[in-house]
Amino acid sequence: MLADADPQLSLSRLEGNNIELADVLDELRTLPFLSPCRLVMIKDADSFITKYRQMLEAYLEAPSPTGVLLLLPVSFPATTRLAKIAAKIGQVISCEPIKPKELARYLITYAKEQHGLKLKQEAAELLRELAGDDSGILCCEVDKIAAYLAGPDKPKTEITLNDVQAVVGHNRLYNVFHVIDALTAGKTAEALLLLNHMLNQDRDAQYTAVGAFAWHFRRLYQARILLDKKLSEGEIIRQSRIWANQEQFMQQVKKLKIEQLGSILEQLMRIDQASKTGAGSVRTGLEKLMVQFSTGKRRAV
């Protein structure tokens, strides 16, 4: 909007809680200097809009030809007269967070538009599992993967599961696999040591560990369904797309019942929610899950 103009000369940032309309109108009607327009941005504009709604409507009927008013309220109902006038002479842009179920499609579009890369659906889902539901963080991870693929020896046009694992997962998925392997083998102490080592060596692991565990347990859950349907191990491996540690993966599938896997996935969901709301930590939640699993397994024997 301001092109290459100096923001110090063409941009005014105001707080809606302590600004008068007269001051805003003075800013809007001040001629811009070395800029095509003057931008007046009002943060936390809800109270400002409530206080001066009718006068703002009147201003928008005959706005300054060189002034641009940018209102940043929390709520701006489209049914109000002010919103309708704003949409008619300018733009009303909704900045609502992207819904979780829409994130994969959003990332696929982002990768295509920003980097010319085809992000495969399964890779987008894994990325979300590992990095969470913050669209800003997810886009940054896509940017990292794009930079990784831009090397002269990697002329690729798509982002695959392996790329997500290499850049975002690092060795996290590998570590998770061995934690679960120890846990299902009855080696609870070893599983707890591996978990703590994983969380300690990677400062970002606390944010993505639950996603990594959920991703692996979900594959185990789906594989167990296929096993209960009497499919061959080879077919289970093929449908589950297991490229490494196939024998160990099938051993884990055989040791876990579908009810156990469903319960674990529910607990992981609660751990994730607790960590995001401050009601609990990832480390404590995962340690508790492992101890409960071990105790329940011993009781079942």
d(CA 281, CA 206): 8
Q: 178-200: per-residue pLDDT in tens?
A: 888 888 888 899 999 988 888 88
What average pLDDT does the segment 149-161 reach?
Answer: 78
pLDDT of 170 reads: 58
pLDDT of 293 reads: 87
Q: 86-132: per-residue pLDDT in tens?
A: 999 999 988 877 888 889 999 999 999 999 999 988 889 888 877 77
Cα distances (Å, whole numbers) of residue 136 to 7, 68, 235, 289: 24, 27, 38, 30
pLDDT of 12 reads: 87
Domain ranges for the chain, please list them: 7-89, 100-169, 172-300
pLDDT of 9 reads: 61
Query: Is it the case that residue 275 has pLDDT exceeding 50?
Result: yes
Tell me which architecture the domain covering 100-169 has in CATH. Answer: Orthogonal Bundle (1.10)
Q: What is the DSSP letter of 40?
A: E
Percentage of the chain exceeding pLDDT 90: 42
pLDDT of 81 reads: 95
- CATH 1.20.272.10 is the classification of domain 172-300: yes
CB-count burial class (<10 Å; 0-12, 13-18, 19+) for 40? buried
What average pLDDT does the segment 236-263 reach?
Answer: 86
Q: Are the C-beta atoms of residues 186 and 294 closer than 8 Å to each other? A: yes
For the domain covering 7-89, report its CATH number.
Answer: 3.40.50.300
Cα distances (Å, whole numbers) of residue 177 to 222, 245, 250: 16, 9, 12
Band the pLDDT of 1: cuts 50, 70, 90.
low
d(CA 140, CA 142): 5
Cα distances (Å, whole numbers) of residue 179 to 22, 70, 200, 274: 64, 52, 14, 22
Give the H or E element holding residue 271. helix 258-277
Q: Are the C-beta atoms of residues 130 and 168 closer than 8 Å to each other? A: yes
pLDDT of 59 reads: 95
Amino acid at 109: T
pLDDT of 23 reads: 93
Band the pLDDT of 6: cuts 50, 70, 90.
low
Q: Are the C-beta atoms of residues 176 and 198 closer than 8 Å to each other? A: yes
Q: What is the DSSP letter of 246?
A: H
pLDDT of 298 reads: 46
Give the count of beta carbons closer than 10 Å to the beta carbon of residue 169: 24
